[in-house]
Structure 1
């Protein structure tokens, strides 16, 4: 872990937020209906956080080991343009994303929960573990959220970044004035 001054400095550099899905955007469970269609539950506050982050001129992406039509639907709904599914080597996928966007690892925050996220989490400027991540991910993280995966952890990180960058108060004021 790092001290508050270092944490804020790292958060101020973030331009790209990358997310794992299962265990980060969701609680980690997968279910199927009786027609065999996969279902996932996403937290609404995480969704608003993602939209607010994008509206602040930042980029959001998904890098996940599983491939799911539900994830593509959620990404489309939230305007997430960077979506990599069925990824076996997440570090390679993130390196490719950074080449495409012209951003650096130092400008990237990644939220993960399990061992496939470890290499990316350790390489990014801000590596975030959700509260219920596995021990190795918790130990490697720059930041550990108070919220569990699928329970508002993404929103918590978005707020941290936008507060550190001095943007959060203006967002709140927009909502207070009735302009969202």
Structure 2
């Protein structure tokens, strides 16, 4: 495992899709339409990040209409699909915003995510992320991809920034 770094200074958090926002299963209808299953818990975690002023982006190696719809539903404007070089995509996004790599985080589950995970100031993976990825990130979630791992990481980020308790307390009012 790399030297663990805190997400306390993050201003942007990126997520992979298959194996992170979903359980990694690929479902196809007989006519070739792809179906993805997303967790509402994860979705609310992403909304909490956005509400705290942390920009949420998605960088995925695959393109799908289901992902387009989910990103729109969550208000995620920066959706990048069919991306082979996720690191270059992240660097371009950071340059446009005037952000440093240390101000960005990424959550991925497979070895193809390591180049972008390695440049970010905070890197995370689900509990069922590939063993080599788990050895090279700052945070390994207790939950699996598509099953609450994203929510857990969102809450970890918010807690490290001292914002989680107030965000949760607002639901008691």
TM-score normalised to the size of structure 2? 0.95
In structure 2, the gaps of 5 or more residues are none
Q: Which residue of 2 aligns with 1:146?
A: 142
Map 1:104-119 → 2, pairs under 5 A: 104-119=100-115
Where do 4+ consecutive residues of structure 1 move more than 4 Å?
Answer: none
Q: Do residues 65 (structure 1) and 45 (structure 2) align?
A: no
By relative contact order (CA 8 Å, sep 6+), the higher-ranking structure is 2
Q: Which residue of 2 aligns with 1:38?
A: 34
Deviation, 1:36, is 2.3
**Separation in structure 2 between the aligned mates of residue 13 and residue 103 of structure 1, nearest angstrom:** 11
Deviation, 1:168, is 0.7
Q: Which residue of 2 aligns with 1:88?
A: 84
**Separation in structure 2 between the aligned mates of residue 84 and residue 101 of structure 1, nearest angstrom:** 16
**Separation in structure 1 between the aligned mates of residue 62 and residue 10 of structure 2, nearest angstrom:** 26
Q: Which residue of 2 aligns with 1:125?
A: 121
In structure 1, the gaps of 5 or more residues are none
Deviations 1:73-100 (A, max 9, x none): 1000001111110001111111111112
Q: Do residues 79 (structure 1) and 75 (structure 2) align?
A: yes
By percentage of residues, which structure has more helix? 1
Question: Secondary structure at 1:87's aligned position in 2?
Answer: coil
Q: What's the RMSD between the two structures over aligned residues? A: 1.3
TM-score normalised to the size of structure 1? 0.92
**Separation in structure 1 between the aligned mates of residue 126 and residue 37 of structure 2, nearest angstrom:** 17
Deviations 1:38-73 (A, max 9, x none): 100001100000011101111000001001111111
Contact preservation (8 Å) 2:2, 2:135: no
